[in-house]
Chains A and B, each alone.
Chain A
C-alpha cells in the first residue's frame, strides 16, 4: 500500500483536494484510509491530509510517507523526514526546496493560465494519478459531484495538465473496492441513526461533532427528520428528551465540552426512563482543549456523569463500519431498556474516511417496543420482573402518561415514601441484569498463544490491529489484543479468560491516565503491567504502537 500526504495552509484547498483524490483512488479499486490533521483556524497555519491506499485491507493511518504534495514550503520542512526511501515530493516550480526526490511543476502558473488559481489542487491530483499508474477514467464522474458545474471544465483541464506533466513511478494494482463505500466516521453514525429510525436530532455546533448535524440536515426533508440547532447543549439534550417522551426517536451529538452541559439531563433520561442516544465525539480537553484534534479522555466522565445513580450504557465505536452498526444498536438498546445510551467516538474517526463494505440493510433489526398490555389505570413506572415498564406514548386514548425527574410512584407522581424509593431505584437497576446478557465482549485478535496482550478501546482498534499483525509477522514473539467496543457496563468474561496466558498486559489508550485500565482494575482487579498512552492530540499509529510495544517487551 501507499501513503501520501497533502499539506498546506488552511484555505489552500488541502481538504478539498484530499476528498476528491481519495474518491478517485477508491474508484480505481483501492482501499482507503485517509486522516485529517487540521488546525483550529480558517486561514493560514499548517493542515494536512494523509491518504493511505492500496489493494489490501487498510485499518488505520500511517505517518511514513511514499509521497508529499506540498502546497506551501512549510509542508516540505515539517514532513520530509517522514518520507520512506524512494519517496517523492511534489511542489510548485517556484518553491526554493531542492533535492533529487523533488518534482516541481509550474502548478500556480498553469492554474493562472487555466483561469482559476484554485485548480492547483486538481493539477496535483492529475500528477498523483499519473505517478501511481492510474488513468483519468473516473475524473468526470467524481468531479461532477465534487465541484460546481461552472468550474467543472477548468478542473478537468487542470487534472489532465497535471497528469501530462509527470512520469509514471508505480504500476496500478488491482483492488476490488470500487463498489464499496467511502465515508467518514461521522457520516457512518449519521446513516446509522437514519437507519435506526431517528426522527429528531438537536445539537449545538461543536467540533468534531458538527458534521453529524450537517449530514442529517442535508437529508432531513426527504428522510422526515427534524434537525434543530439548539441555543446551547442543555437545550439540545432536553429537546431530545422531550421529543423522545412524545414518541419521536431522538438523538443529540456533541463533544466533551458540550456533554459537560448535558450532564444533568442525562440523569433525567435515567430517572424518567426516557430513551435517548447521545454521541460524544471526543476531542482533547479539559475545557476548550485542542478543538480540532483527537483524544479518548472522556471515558471516565461518560460512565459517571450526572448526580445520583441510574443505569446507562456506553459504546465506543471502533471504526467506520462499527460506527454505523453500533449507532443502530445504541438506538435499539435505548428503546428496549428506556435508558440513555452514549456513543463514544473521536475526532480521528469523525473526520477520517475509510472504505467499508456496503451496509447490509436487510440485516438491520430496528427494535420495536411491544404495545403495553394493562388493565385499569396505566402505570408508566410499573414494577415488573425485568424492571422494564411497558411504555405508552402520551396522546393515545389508552391512558395518561407521566414523566418525572422527582422520585415517583408507579403512576409517575412525586413521592418521598422510603419503600417506593427503594423499589424504583431497584427497578431501574434491574434493567441492567437483562442488558448484561446483550453486552458484546471485546474482539480478540492475534496469535492464539501469546506473551503480550494489548488492550484497547474505540478508535485505537485499527492501529492496534495493524501493530499486532506486524509484530506477529516480524518480531519472532507472539502478541494478541482485546479490543473493546462496549465499555460500560464493561464485559469481563473474555478478558478474565485471555489475561490468564499473558505475561504482559499493555493498555494502549489515547489519554494521559489510562482510563480503560483503571475501569478494568476497578471492575475486575486485573492490572495492566504497562501502558502506552498518547495525549498530544494526534492519533497513535500502528508503527508508534509497534515501537512502544517492542520497548516495553524488551524491558
Chain B
C-alpha cells in the first residue's frame, strides 16, 4: 500500500525544549508542503549532530550518514536520481568543520541540492565545545581561555568559492525562513542557507534574544546579484546581522555540464548498451 498523503508528518524529537531546531524543522515542513512536494520524491540528508537528526523526524526518505560527510553523499544521490529533491539539514560543525573540504568543493560542483546549516555557534551533540563559527573569546569546557580562532565566515567562503545562492536567516523568523527555504529548493544549483539558531543548553551568549536584537532583513534596495555588495554584507556580523539572500547568480549546474546527465532518464535507470562491451573488447584485440 502506498501512502499518497502530501503531508510531511512529524515524529517525536529528541531535542531540548526551546531548541532552535524546532523552528527550523517546522519551517522545512511548511516549505516542502507549500512547494507541493511529494514526500516520496524528497530525500532529506544529513551528517551527524543535533541538527543532523532532522531527516529522522519528517516522514519522507532519509539518509543519516557520517559526521561531516553529508554533502558528498547528497550530491551523488542527486546525480544518481535527478527526480529527487534533496535537502541537507545539518549543523555548522558538520558542514564547516569536519566537512569543510566538502563544503568548498561541492560549491564548485554546483549540484542542484539545498544545504540548510543550523548554525548555533556551538557544538551541541558533544556538549558545548567551540564550533567553527563561535565568536572569539567564547568560553567552553575545552576553550577555557576563550576561543582563540577567527570565526569562520560561511557566507564569505561560499561567495568566494563560487556559490550561486547564498542566504542567511534566523530560526526565530519563520516567515522569512520559509520563503528562503522555498527559494533555495527551487534554485537550480547548490543553495546555502546559513540559519542562525539559539542553543538553549550550551550557548548562553548567542541566545534567541541576542539574534533577535541584531538580525535585520535586507530590503528591496539591496541587489543580491552584486557580488561586491554581497561580500560587504557577508562581512557584516556584529551589532547588526543582515538576513535574506546575500548573493544570487544563475550558473550552469553539474547536470547542465555533464553529458551523461543530459538525458531525461535518471542515471539510476539508464541501461548499458550491451554492444558497447564487444566494442570495448575489440579495442584490446
Q: A residues touching B (Cβ–Cβ < 8 Å)?
A: 179-183, 187, 191, 194-195, 197, 199-200, 202, 219-226, 228, 230-232, 234-236, 238-248, 250, 264-265, 268, 272, 358-359, 361, 375-376, 393-406, 412-414
Contacts and interface: CB of A to CB of B under 8 A. Distances in A.
Given A200-B267, A245-B63, A402-B56, 6 more contacts: A221-B259, A224-B260, A235-B72, A242-B65, A245-B73, A405-B48
B84 interface: yes
B76 A231 contact: no
14 contacts: A179-B285, A200-B76, A242-B75, A242-B77, A242-B80, A245-B73, A247-B268, A250-B76, A268-B66, A358-B281, A361-B274, A361-B278, A397-B4, A397-B40
Contacts of A395: 40-41, 43, 61, 81, 83-84
Contact of B63 (A179, A220, A403): A403
Contacts of B41: 395
B80 A400 contact: no
B1 interface: yes
A234 B2 CA distance: 36
A245 B69 CA distance: 14
A401 B44 CA distance: 10
A200 to B, nearest CB: 6
A226 B260 contact: yes
Contacts of B280: 191, 194, 219
A225 B260 CA distance: 7
B79 A200 contact: yes
Contacts of B276: 194, 219, 222-223
Interface size grouping (class) on chain B: 35 or more
A329 B93 CA distance: 39
A231 B285 contact: no
A402 B62 contact: yes
Q: Which one of A228, A239, A272, A413 has the highest number of Cβ atoms from chain B below 10 Å of its Cβ? A: A239
A238 B56 CA distance: 19
Nearest to A375: B1
B250 interface: no
Contact of A243 (B48, B77, B83, B258): B77
Contact of A246 (B43, B105, B270): B43
B101 A199 contact: no
Q: Which one of A182, A200, A220, A246 has the highest number of Cβ atoms from chain B below 10 Å of its Cβ? A: A246
A246 to B, nearest CB: 4
A502 to B, nearest CB: 39
A327 B37 CA distance: 39
A243 B65 CA distance: 13
B74 interface: yes
B75 A404 contact: no
B17 to A, nearest CB: 19
A264 B67 CA distance: 10
Nearest to B284: A181
B77 A246 contact: yes
A397 B2 contact: yes
B281 A181 contact: yes
A239 B260 contact: no
Nearest to B276: A223
A401 B285 contact: no
A181 B285 contact: yes
A443 B259 CA distance: 43
A245 B38 CA distance: 19
Contacts of A400: 3, 39-40, 59-62
Contacts of B285: 179-182, 358
A173 to B, nearest CB: 20
B150 to A, nearest CB: 23
Contacts of B267: 199-200, 224, 226, 243, 248
A231 B101 contact: yes
A406 B65 CA distance: 8
A534 B192 CA distance: 52
Given A393-B268, A396-B40, A414 B69 contact: no
A222 B3 CA distance: 38
Contact of B72 (A224, A239, A397, A401): A239
Contacts of A183: 284
Nearest to B68: A234
A412 B60 CA distance: 12
State the 9 A-B residue pairs at the shortest beta-carbon distance, nearest first: A242-B73, A247-B268, A242-B76, A246-B80, A248-B80, A231-B105, A394-B61, A239-B76, A246-B77
A198 to B, nearest CB: 9
B75 A239 contact: yes
Contacts of B259: 221
Nearest to A145: B283
Q: Which one of A200, A358, A404, A405 has the highest number of Cβ atoms from chain B below 10 Å of its Cβ? A: A405
Contacts of B2: 397-399
Contact of B64 (A181, A234, A403): A403
Nearest to B265: A224
A401 B2 CA distance: 13
A252 to B, nearest CB: 11
B182 interface: no
Contacts of A197: 272
A238 B76 CA distance: 8
B80 A199 contact: yes
B142 interface: no
Contacts of B25: none
Interface in B33-55: 38-41, 43, 45, 48, 53
A195 B69 CA distance: 29
Contacts of B3: 399-400
Contacts of A375: 1
Contacts of A228: 76, 79
B260 A242 contact: no
A466 B40 CA distance: 58
Contacts of A180: 285
Contact of B66 (A200, A226, A376, A405): A405
Contacts of B284: 181-183, 187
B37 to A, nearest CB: 12
A13 B39 CA distance: 58
B40 A240 contact: no
B63 A232 contact: no
Contact of A242 (B40, B74, B270): B74
B268 A412 contact: no
